[in-house]
Amino acid sequence: AQTVTQSQPEMSVQEAETVTLSCTYDTSESDYYLFWYKQPPSRQMILVIRQEAYKQQNATENRFSVNFQKAAKSFSLKISDSQLGDAAMYFCAYIRVTDKLIFGTGTRLQVFP
């Protein structure tokens, strides 16, 4: 069965600095998708970034980028120039083409001024 592991329950970063959130997953599939979702106190899950497993190039969305290591089954999220509004729970998620999203347990990110 597929699993997603986020080994950092909490992380903190100073405003304007860079932080990296870790995620590993276990699968025997070759075709799948990976996501990072952000959940602020409002509870709404917001898509941060998406990576297709068949793409070698790491996805980037403004200040957010990933380091996708397919062989190592690793999918870390890097947040550059951290802002106070980045404080939230971050969830890593995996999905096969014909299956359902599997989420990690989340990392709570605190941003200090």
Q: What is the DSSP letter of 6?
A: -
Beta-carbon contacts of 4 under 8 Å, excluding residues fewer than 6 positions away, are 23, 24, 25, 26, 92, 93, 94, 102, 103, 104
Quote the CA–CA distance of 78 and 5 in Å, as a whole number: 17
Q: Strand 10-14 vs strand 107-112: parallel, antiparallel, or unpaired?
A: parallel
Q: Shortest gap between Cβ of 24 and another protein (angstroms)?
A: 14
Q: Shortest gap between Cβ of 97 and another protein (angstroms)?
A: 4
- Closer Cβ to another protein, 69 or 105, answer by number: 105
- Closer Cβ to another protein, 13 or 91, answer by number: 91
What six digits make up the tokens of 5?
A: 């592991």
Residues 89-108 that bind another protein (CB under 8 A): 91, 93, 95-106
Binding mask 24-53 for another protein (x = CB under 8 A): --------xx-x-x----xxxxxx--x---
Q: Is 71 in the site for another protein (CB under 8 A)?
A: no
Q: Shortest gap between Cβ of 16 and another protein (angstroms)?
A: 29
Amino acid letter at 16? A
